[in-house]
Structure 1
Amino acid sequence: MTGTQTLVAAATPGRPPRRPNRLLRAGLLAGPLFTVTFLVEPVLHAGYDPLRHPVSSLALGPGGWVQTVNFVVAGLLCLVFAVGLRRALRPGPGAVAAPLLLAVWAVGLLGAGAFTTDPVSGYPAGTPPVPDPPTWPGRLHDLAFSLPGFVAFAGAMLVLAYAYARRRSPLRAAYSALSAVAFVTLFVLATAGFGQSPHLVDIAGLLQRLTIGVGWLWLTLVAAGAMRRPAASP
Structure 2
Amino acid sequence: MLLSDHILFLDGEALVVDKPEGLPVDPPRDGSLSLENHLDSLRFGFKRWPLAVHRLDRDTSGCLLLARNPKAHGRFTRAFEGREVEKQYLAIIDGVPDGDGGTIDLPLAKTSTAETGWRMVVDPNGKPSVSHWEKLAVVDGRALLRFRPETGRTHQLRVHALEGLGLPIAGDPVYGNGRGKDRTLLHAERLVVKRDVKPSIIAEAPFPARFAALGFSPPEGAAPTRG
Q: Give the structure-2-normalised TM-score.
A: 0.28
The structure where strand makes up a greater share of residues is: 2
The structure where helix makes up a greater share of residues is: 1
Which structure is larger by alpha-carbon Rg, 1 or 2? 1
